[in-house]
Amino acid sequence: MVRKSPGRSAALLSHTFEGHTFLFREDGYINMTKAAKAFGKKLSHFWASHQTKEYMEALSQMPGFRGIKLVISSRGRYGETWVHPKLTVFTARWLDVRFAVWCDLVIE
């Protein structure tokens, strides 16, 4: 399913994994707020991890990634966190290994 995201020019793509619907933007970013909620986890715990900080730092130093937003967040009651495709599988692995494999296949 494709639908326009309110306030964005990119369309959202809905994909279902084990009965949960996950949203990807057409540029590959995933709504990780909804993903974490589906697995009963808080993203704040993920972002606080030393391994996460180290991975994001290494990725941001790779050619072609300098200045690229790896994470796009909005605050507030309906805040969302969208994660760059190259960070999606790393983040998804923290949630569930099978979900990470599925994300990898969806992103392809």
Confidence of residue 2 (pLDDT cuts 50, 70, 90): very low
What is the tens place of the pLDDT at every residue in 47-69? 999 999 999 999 999 999 988 99
Task: Judge contact between 65 and 59, C-beta under 8 A.
Answer: yes
pLDDT at 35 over 50: yes
Number of C-alpha atoms within 13 angstroms, CB side, residue 61? 6
pTM: 0.83
Q: Which domains does the chain have, with CATH numbers?
A: 2-107 (3.10.260)
Whose CA is closest to 86, among 97, 106, 70? 70
Phi then psi for residue 104, to 5 deg, are -60, -40
Q: How far apart are CA 67 and CA 60, in angstroms?
A: 8
